Chain A
């Protein structure tokens, strides 16, 4: 995968007529959306409408489900991620991911961050990278004295920031977050949201969230997903716009009903 025209491309990720299947079941249909550089793009919608599936398609994580396949294209900096010559390992290096449940490795805090860099052949100063990543994830002050302790000994919110630091350590361009705060209390959630605002200076963030206030507070763009038709369980993006447009003057009636809490 070659880096082409990075400075000129305004959009980091772009989907073209994207359909995602699990076996014969079409989970996500006909998605066309563009993710802007150094912005936070939120994907919202009711449960089971394919938000996570779409997010996982962005770094080819959904391929780990044996029966999954996609139609259409996802363009990352001018390159189709699903072109045959593209290695999914390299995709996941460039497009990192943070999961719903904090999942640090059962290793020390230091190794949690160093492992990813090490497998990608990091040649620089590892200590420096660990410190830098932890500082970026706003965790350094809390763990600087306990770097050799297990990552599992931290609190839930700290674990999630450790996972973010781990994702940052391999220096990705995009970070995908799959409901990163849904397992956390409001204070830890607030810290994650503040962190996202800091991170978007250097990274592009795509976040899936159940929490509409979170999307309204934290994101610049919002994609509203919904099950396409009654009786047909397949999700699609029904509206994609700037966040304040989605939440104040949505064009689609279903979006309006959803964001105003009338259903969903």
Chain B
């Protein structure tokens, strides 16, 4: 791109080299690098989603321990039997003790026909996965799969299963991947995050207000506090787990186990409860919330503070009526980040004592607990393929939970932002 008309004006030799093209070239190289980095990120995210979705559904061939057709009563197949007939089947195939135990837990009069049918499938038929394929194979390799089914499993139940389904969300834990669900882990995550936010949000915001608005003199003590908070944000999460174990599980056991309030969960009788987990995660995200809230408070223009002080407002009136309302969107953004961090944490909860198997749903801060990341971790370590499928389904659950919590925070933030 030479511009000869410029040169004609100059009579003496120029002090500048003609480097416009070189400068554009280096600019282009950097632009390409930025685009490449973005593409790497997008590809990584797409791969993650694709693998998860690929693993979370596909064709499954079931193998029944007891052939359902053998359970027909007087020629009526299992699917069409009435509640009484199904109860007969249960009675005939289970020991008397097992049958009475079911009746004791939930009396048959209170169960619907479909409940009893599910019981028959779960206790007697006992479907196992004989062979399974991932979503991609199921879609692209259908003819081959059909061939295998025709040759090797002509009489078996074949289903296209989306492992992430309503039953999966609402079923309790089980050692059998076909009927295992994520309900207790889901509730555990919700309870834990609830405690975490309840603890960390008010304390974090109040600490940020104090540090930004009150501890403004530049002395060694304030600098020490600020430096410490900044460093705490970088401490590995497992360290917080050890801290939580020492403080909440051990030292504060009477409180965290609930024994001081007289509400001891008979299955725990120690401090490894939702309360301990929530407080530990609360400590973990506290520096994050403090630092982000400080940033938000600092971003409130000084002219607004001046305006308030200038008409004789006290410091507290200024903070409450002007600084906080204008900082709230930023504070909530920080809280979103903190929640995202807390909900995915696994390591500190392992140390604090998350249970891998719990049969009762958590129903309060003093329950034993497990959370979604713990559940996912536990399932992925199992050798059977099916556990990987439900782990993928649990990952989707975790992602959806995370996105909906964040969406709530974003909605709240937008509501506050539009107040004026």
Contacts and interface: CB of A to CB of B under 8 A. Distances in A.
Interface of A: 59, 61, 64, 66, 89-94, 96-99, 101, 103-107, 115-116, 119-120, 150, 152, 163, 166-167, 169-170
B306 to A, nearest CB: 6
A115 B314 CA distance: 13
A61 B309 contact: yes
Best-buried of B303, B304, B312 by chain A (most CB within 10 Å) = B312
Contact of A120 (B305, B312, B420): B312
B110 interface: no
A152 B317 CA distance: 21
B311 A103 contact: no
B306 A115 contact: no
Given A66-B218, A119-B321, 4 more contacts: A92-B309, A92-B312, A99-B310, A103-B303
A106 B303 CA distance: 12
A167 B303 contact: no
Contacts of A103: 301, 303-304, 306-307
B317 A99 contact: no
B326 A106 contact: yes
Contacts of B314: 89, 119
Nearest 9 pairs of A and B residues by beta carbon: A93-B312, A97-B310, A116-B311, A103-B303, A92-B312, A106-B420, A103-B307, A66-B217, A150-B420
20 contacts: A61-B306, A61-B309, A64-B309, A66-B217, A66-B218, A89-B312, A91-B312, A96-B310, A96-B312, A99-B307, A101-B303, A103-B306, A116-B312, A116-B313, A119-B311, A120-B312, A150-B420, A163-B307, A166-B307, A166-B311
A132 B304 CA distance: 24
B217 A170 contact: no
A178 B150 CA distance: 90
B303 A170 contact: no
B26 interface: no
B146 to A, nearest CB: 66
Contacts of B217: 66
B17 interface: no
B322 interface: yes
Contact of B321 (A89, A99, A115, A150): A115
Nearest to B218: A66
Contacts of A119: 311-314, 317, 321
A92 B310 contact: yes
Nearest to A170: B311
Contacts of A104: 307
A197 B289 CA distance: 51
B151 interface: no
B21 interface: no
Contacts of B420: 106-107, 150, 152
A105 B322 contact: yes
Given A103-B304, A115-B321, A152-B420, A61 B310 contact: yes
Given A66-B218, A106-B420, A92 B307 contact: no
Contacts of B322: 105
Nearest to B307: A103
B267 interface: no
A92 B311 contact: yes
Nearest to B216: A66
B409 to A, nearest CB: 22
Interface string B305-335: 1111111111001000110001000000000
A167 B311 contact: yes
A92 B312 CA distance: 5
A103 B311 CA distance: 12
A152 B326 CA distance: 14
Interface in B272-318: 301, 303-314, 317
Contacts of A152: 420
Contacts of A91: 312
A91 B304 CA distance: 19
A257 B321 CA distance: 47
Contacts of B304: 103, 105-106
Contacts of A169: 311
Contact of B313 (A89, A99, A106): A89
A165 B125 CA distance: 82
Contacts of B218: 66
Nearest to A63: B309
A150 to B, nearest CB: 5
A115 B304 CA distance: 13
A177 to B, nearest CB: 11
Contacts of B308: 105
